[in-house]
């Protein structure tokens, strides 16, 4: 089953993607010139838009704003992965989108769930690419990295 997600991409991945595009096409300004002259090669437009958006996100960060880059990605989830998205795990995703948490313990307490079960659910969601677990001191802080999920049928 194919899913389309809007996902937060961390800065290091954005920088890696931009380096790949730079190696492939030269420079963003070169692609921009090709675009304005109507000479953009077929299939390059989406990469040009993505590169432009990543460049804007990095420039905003350099000017003092928080770094945030959201990208739409397609995920192919087989039946086994799809079955891992239980009601409790989807509840975790929904809660992380609505309220900040300080740690896995904090999240479990706010949801009235067992810490070990919440941890196990978060590890599965991390493996599927829906959350990130960021180390902060001695704690793991769960962060939602998927902000929108669309299921493509047919």
The hierarchical CATH code for the domain 78-152 is 1.10.10.10
Q: What is the pLDDT of residues 31-82, one digit of tens each?
A: 888 888 888 878 899 899 989 999 999 999 999 998 989 888 888 888 888 8
Is residue 92 within 8 A of residue 118, CB to CB? The reply is yes
pLDDT tens readout for residues 79-95: 888 889 999 999 999 99
- If pLDDT is split at 50, 70 and 90, which confidence band does 3 have? confident
Residue that has been written with the tokens 């795990």 in this structure: 89
Report pLDDT digits (tens) over 136-149. 998 899 998 988 88
C-alpha torsion 150→151→152→154, nearest 10: -160
Return the number of other C-beta atoms located less than 10 Å from residue 131's C-beta: 22
Residue environment code for 113-124, b if the CB has 16+ CB neighbours within 10 A, otherwise e = eeeeebbebbeb
Domain edges within the chain: 2-73, 78-152
Single pTM value for the model: 0.71
């Amino acid at each position: 089953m194919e899913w389309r997600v809007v996902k937060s991409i961390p800065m290091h991945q954005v920088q890696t993607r931009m380096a790949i595009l730079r190696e492939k096409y030269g420079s963003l300004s070169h692609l921009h010139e090709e675009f304005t002259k109507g000479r953009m090669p077929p299939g390059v437009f989406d990469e040009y838009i993505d590169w432009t958006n990543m460049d804007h996100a990095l420039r905003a960060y350099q000017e003092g704003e928080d770094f945030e880059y959201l990208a739409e990605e397609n995920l192919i989830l087989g039946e086994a992965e799809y079955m891992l998205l239980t009601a409790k795990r989807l509840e975790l995703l929904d809660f992380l989108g609505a309220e900040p948490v300080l740690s896995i313990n904090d999240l479990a307490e706010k949801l009235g769930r067992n810490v070990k079960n919440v941890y196990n659910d978060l590890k599965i969601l991390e493996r599927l690419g829906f959350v990130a677990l960021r180390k902060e001191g001695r704690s793991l802080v769960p962060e939602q990295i998927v902000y929108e999920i669309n299921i493509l049928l047919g």
